Structure 1
């Protein structure tokens, strides 16, 4: 089973996405399962993990409805009000069978320490008790620092760093990203997604060679058993089409780790 562990849908007519402005060009339109299904079939992807793109319960409900209607969506990483542990607990008490994880757009929060609020830490403990995962979308080094902190506080919580924490590929940035990723990887409950890298490179001129050092570092510190492929479609369309993203990741990961990174890790991590 080949799995794309990170993709999105959004509907501009029914949803509210403050970050999704006309300046984003190709992204500023509705993207639905009918748009993605042919892309999956063309490269042989069997299942996907649908990840939230807005911090709202309306987004959560919409994604779970899509998962009901489309078999290829194996799991949903949705949103819950983590700053309100009581509401989080209520939502977890009767959750959808395809509800496999939670994410919050922490990189849009003015407070870089948003994750370390007492209320959020309490809610993350509830996710651990429920066997759910938490996707960390990090932009600042501070966000990545917090992954190790949370992993140590909640060793039973499955954490995954989205997009390898967005290394500055275009500028050939390396530190402190490399050391912080290694520090996070030192905790066995932390995983990472080989995703979102093409949009961190030069959109017009990038090559697989630009991405290779970052993927190789991730392979060194996590191993294939804690890495998973994600297309980050349709965001990736800013720099490449679906097939190009898929084939580039396949090239960089290599044959030895393919079964884990392109399916096995995601299935084990998210539990489907």
Structure 2
């Protein structure tokens, strides 16, 4: 299972963060392009994750999920700063069984502490009341440190740290990323995605570059709270889908079968209620 992938259509939805400077990903990416790559990797379900802080992006994703049964879940968006409006949208969208959770592009906010504002915390409490999950775009070093506070302030909310918070792989860096990740892992409702690591590693990366960071995540979270994601199509900025899948599997090959099965599907199925 792929617990983190995206689609975007530049003709239907605005993506303020995406421009020509993003090179190969500055175009539309839709299910027909990903489907053969999933089949080649033997992946039967994916979780489709928001790419814009807008209703239009969520509606677009839900429409794709109606057409392609292998999209097992959609992580959309509601305005967490506006509690009542967020609740109205959640009332609507949670009637759709494929709608699983929320994400906000917090790393695009000017305020690095945006996610711990009182209004946002109130919005996250509404999310928890509806049994929805929250994907944390915890781009290191600004956001990972907030995860323990979110876990404490919003009990019962299932949180997942996207991309292991983008560890400094290219520089072979370690602290304070490791200490912050370890602290976040102390909260049982906090999970993490083994995703987006190839673009953190830079060019000419291999499983050997990823393995120390994956090993540390397994040590701190356990396989039962880790899930694989391709981060396609962002992944093509440093490789391709097949390379991400194969090299991640190589990095996991020494682990027991049960651990590999958890990271490569079981954890995501439980977390997102697929």
Indicate the TM-score class for this superposition, using the shorter chain for normalisation.
over 0.9
Aligned partners of 1:103 and 1:7: how far apart in 2? 13
Aligned partners of 1:206 and 1:258: how far apart in 2? 21
Structure 1 253/20 Cα, relative in aligned 2: closer, same or farther at 3 Å? same
Q: Which residue matches 2:232?
A: 233
Residues 141, 180 of structure 1: 8 Å contact kept: no
Residue 155 of structure 1 deviates from its aligned partner by 2.3
Q: Which residue matches 1:54?
A: 52
Q: Which residue matches 1:83?
A: 81
Q: Which residue matches 1:259?
A: 261
For structure 2, the residue ranges without an aligned partner over 5 or more in a row are none
Residues 8, 53 of structure 1: 8 Å contact kept: yes
Q: Which residue matches 1:43?
A: 41
Q: Which residue matches 2:214?
A: 215
**What are the residue-to-residue correspondences of 1:1-272 with 2, within 5 Å?**
3-95=1-93, 96-203=96-203, 205-254=204-253, 255-256=255-256, 257-272=259-274
Aligned partners of 1:163 and 1:253: how far apart in 2? 16
Aligned partners of 1:94 and 1:110: how far apart in 2? 30
Residue 250 of structure 1 deviates from its aligned partner by 1.2
Aligned partners of 1:207 and 1:252: how far apart in 2? 9
Residue 94 of structure 1 deviates from its aligned partner by 2.2
Aligned partners of 1:127 and 1:156: how far apart in 2? 10
What is the number of residues matched between the two proteins? 269
Aligned partners of 1:262 and 1:206: how far apart in 2? 20
Residue 121 of structure 1 deviates from its aligned partner by 0.4
Aligned partners of 1:64 and 1:160: how far apart in 2? 21
Aligned partners of 2:147 and 2:205: how far apart in 1? 29
For structure 1, the residue ranges without an aligned partner over 5 or more in a row are none
Residues 107, 140 of structure 1: 8 Å contact kept: no
Residue 119 of structure 1 deviates from its aligned partner by 1.2
Residue 139 of structure 1 deviates from its aligned partner by 1.5
Aligned partners of 1:37 and 1:54: how far apart in 2? 22
Aligned partners of 1:55 and 1:234: how far apart in 2? 18
Q: If the length of structure 1 is used for normalisation, what is the TM-score?
A: 0.97
Q: Secondary structure at the match of 2:143?
A: helix
Residue 17 of structure 1 deviates from its aligned partner by 1.0
**Segments of 4+ moved more than 6 angstroms:** none
